[in-house]
Structure 1
Amino acid sequence: MFSQSLAAATIFHGAHPEAVSEFVNRHIGGHHLDLIGGENRAASLSFREFAGFGLSRISYGNHVRVKTPALEDVYHFQVVTRGECRWRSGSDKLALRRGQALMVNPDEAVDLEYSPACEKIIIKVPMAVMNTVQGTDSRANVRFSRTPVDLRGCPSLTSVLDAVFAEFDEVPEGEPSEISGSYREIILKKLLKVFPSNQDEMTSGAKLPPGIHRILRFIEENVKEEIDVKELSEVSNMSTRSIYNAFSRAFSTTPKAYVKQVKLRNLREDLLQGRCRNVTEVALDYGFSHLGRFSSDYRKLFGELPSETLRLLG
């Protein structure tokens, strides 16, 4: 994934991790670097600005820990292209592997642990640029949820990024691209579509019929129970067909899939808050009797197995 991206913009290769860290502090985002496993001169970094973004490819080549304070006025789109990165913020803990991506919000301090083989693509998006996207709600800044996304399941976004990197390599540094503005708008809209955010709630919530609001409240209040569409129809006074159509328009999914997502998100919160003794107990509590299928669905949504969530908590 993005194997040759930014190859023409190499700043460091075979460097000391602290040299890369110093550049990152100046151009990408402030942080503190701790070397955990030696000081191999195997770090590399490529960087260039394009279409209002800061594009970088980073590998520290060592087992390191990176503590990042609030980013102030920028977002970070981070995708792991090799190795593993453990991500912590407050009570949330994740293990991101190849192909998995996350959005980091302004004012969100994070604690990252890179494996020696870990490599990332990071796109720095100024808040002012994010707020230019047409269709976003101007009442509040965009805030992304802490939900990793596997880009291997998002071919349209990866294709756009590949096109941007190709355009980037064709345009000499310092020379503006005639279509960079178009790329910027497309990337921003793709990020908002792929990564869950408060914009989903603001743009869809106001358009939902009253019956759907009653359904959402019912799901939250009965999240550990078995919920079928017949019950939702009775709660909302809507036909089954109307419910399916409304969920398709508002959430791009079915009522059954939506209920499963709510269950998984609440279950994960129970794991992170230590409100259960083990994975089997909490899975059965939420009605997941097929543990293998449950673990697979959990990993697709959060990028890690439920057992890994518990292990990270410890």
Structure 2
Amino acid sequence: MPLHLLNAKSNVFAGANPFEVSNYVRENVGTHSLRLSSRSRASASLAHRKAGGLDLCRLSYGTQARIVSEGLADIYHLQFILRGFCRYTLPHSTLDLPAGHFLLLNPDDPLDLTYSEDCEKFIVKIPATMLGEACVEHRWIKSRERITFNQVPYRFEEIDSLLILLKLICEEAESGMATPQMLQHYNRVVTTKLMTMLKHNIALDEPCQHTPCFERLVQYIDENIKHDITAEQLSQFSRLSLRSLYLLFEKNAKTTPKNFIRQKKLEHVHAALTNPTGKVSNVTAVALEYGFTHLGRFSELYKSAFGVLPSESMKARLAA
């Protein structure tokens, strides 16, 4: 075998009837229409273990099998082809998975999988809630957004570190010595690795909490201070999600992007009104130049920030 994930001490039904294995799959995977060929040259086998929130299963049908399903409820299936061959028929194409390849099946995707007579596979079942928790932990996506992995065959060598981790999890699940806390930790590492190693529809917008990132945003605001700058524009410029952007401003400025931009505009207006070499003719012109169209509200904000009205700042400059 190219990958020994479960050892002989597992709950293995070696030589079991293929239909016994298929019944087990239907009970533990979901409602399927499983079609088996009439002849069989190999024995069916099954090994199954729970490891925290992960469900680990190694099986072979012992005969050519076709599995058709409308979906997998709220479970993602990571399928490793250990031996033989699997064909995944999609609406407009097919994916061929020889031994040494794997893919991740999404809960909402209809399945049409055909396994060769000698095929043996290892499955990791991952509840959707676990992937959602990983995204919340890393602040990657909104909690309501469904994760959809690209249906692309990968080779085992592309995920060596994940295979090592899965082998360790299998050994711990077999030993019965792992604590729930240990298995929960392994589960988090597995889900995080899947999100960072495989292709999917989610942009991993990890919050950029370091100072240089914030400084670039401040520079962008200063360079465009006379324009109407929105949080969405800052998000696009920094390639951060809106949530990550707000976290960045909260960490570095203790305020929201909108309030920060407004304060910067007020500072520029104050500098223009108090600059002794400036050529400002009136307060209204400066306020409008920096996007303050409600002059009464502008005066209130200015006085709150600098302790005087904008007209008083201008008078002080003229009297100097």
Which one has more relative contact order, counting CA pairs under 8 Å at least 6 apart? 1
TM-score w.r.t. structure 2 length?
Answer: 0.59
Matched, 1:203 2:205: yes
- The equivalent of 1:46 in structure 2 is 47
Matched, 1:164 2:166: no
Matched, 1:22 2:23: yes
Is the partner of 1:101 in helix, strand or coil? strand
Unaligned runs of 5+ in 2: 214-237, 239-320
- The equivalent of 1:79 in structure 2 is 80
- The equivalent of 2:157 in structure 1 is 152
The answer on whether the counterparts of 2:88 and 2:111 sit within 8 Å (CA) in structure 1 is yes
User: In the TM superposition, what is the alpha-carbon distance from 1:191 to its structure 2 partner?
Assistant: 1.1
RMSD: 2.7
- The equivalent of 1:260 in structure 2 is none
Deviations 1:267-290 (A, max 9, x none): xxxxxxxxxxxxxxxxxxxxxxxx
Question: Percent identity among equivalent residues?
Answer: 29
Report the residue type matching 2:72 in the other structure: L
Deviations 1:131-185 (A, max 9, x none): 110223124121101111112222111111111112112216xx74441011001
1:131-146 pair list within 5 angstroms: 131-133=132-134, 134-135=137-138, 136-138=140-142, 139-146=144-151
2:187 is aligned, of 178, 184, 200, to 184
- The equivalent of 1:12 in structure 2 is 13
User: In the TM superposition, what is the alpha-carbon distance from 1:41 to its structure 2 partner?
Assistant: 6.5
Deviations 1:217-253 (A, max 9, x none): xxxxxxxxxxxxxxxxxxxxxxxxxxxxx9xxxxxxx
- The equivalent of 1:239 in structure 2 is none
Question: Using the alignment, how far apart are the partners of 1:92 and 1:7 within structure 2?
Answer: 38
Question: Using the alignment, how far apart are the partners of 1:111 and 1:137 within structure 2?
Answer: 30
- The equivalent of 1:61 in structure 2 is 62
Question: Using the alignment, how far apart are the partners of 1:53 and 1:202 within structure 2?
Answer: 23
Relative to structure 1, is the Cα distance of residues 29 and 66 closer, same or farther in structure 2, using a 3 angstrom cutoff? same
Relative to structure 1, is the Cα distance of residues 202 and 163 closer, same or farther in structure 2, using a 3 angstrom cutoff? closer
- The equivalent of 1:113 in structure 2 is 114
Relative to structure 1, is the Cα distance of residues 151 and 21 closer, same or farther in structure 2, using a 3 angstrom cutoff? same
Aligned length: 207
1:282-293 pair list within 5 angstroms: none
- The equivalent of 1:70 in structure 2 is 71
Report the residue type matching 1:189 in the other structure: T
The answer on whether the counterparts of 2:57 and 2:123 sit within 8 Å (CA) in structure 1 is yes
The higher radius of gyration belongs to: 2
The answer on whether the counterparts of 1:171 and 1:177 sit within 8 Å (CA) in structure 2 is no
Is the partner of 1:131 in helix, strand or coil? helix
The answer on whether the counterparts of 1:16 and 1:39 sit within 8 Å (CA) in structure 2 is no
User: In the TM superposition, what is the alpha-carbon distance from 1:2 to its structure 2 partner?
Assistant: 2.8
Question: Using the alignment, how far apart are the partners of 1:25 and 1:124 within structure 2?
Answer: 14
Is the partner of 2:171 in helix, strand or coil? helix
TM-score w.r.t. structure 1 length?
Answer: 0.60
Unaligned runs of 5+ in 1: 210-245, 247-314
Report the residue type matching 1:187 in the other structure: V
Report the residue type matching 2:59 in the other structure: I
Deviations 1:99-142 (A, max 9, x none): 21100001111111111111110011111122110223124121
Is the partner of 2:129 in helix, strand or coil? helix
The answer on whether the counterparts of 1:28 and 1:54 sit within 8 Å (CA) in structure 2 is no
Question: Using the alignment, how far apart are the partners of 1:6 and 1:124 within structure 2?
Answer: 19
User: In the TM superposition, what is the alpha-carbon distance from 1:36 to its structure 2 partner?
Assistant: 2.4
Matched, 1:127 2:135: no
Is the partner of 1:10 in helix, strand or coil? coil
Deviates more, 1:146-155 or 1:28-37: 28-37
Is the partner of 1:87 in helix, strand or coil? strand
Question: Using the alignment, how far apart are the partners of 2:43 and 2:150 within structure 1?
Answer: 33
Question: Using the alignment, how far apart are the partners of 1:132 and 1:74 within structure 2?
Answer: 14
Relative to structure 1, is the Cα distance of residues 44 and 182 closer, same or farther in structure 2, using a 3 angstrom cutoff? same
Relative to structure 1, is the Cα distance of residues 202 and 166 closer, same or farther in structure 2, using a 3 angstrom cutoff? closer
User: In the TM superposition, what is the alpha-carbon distance from 1:89 to its structure 2 partner?
Assistant: 2.4
The answer on whether the counterparts of 2:6 and 2:170 sit within 8 Å (CA) in structure 1 is yes
Relative to structure 1, is the Cα distance of residues 8 and 68 closer, same or farther in structure 2, using a 3 angstrom cutoff? farther
- The equivalent of 1:93 in structure 2 is 94
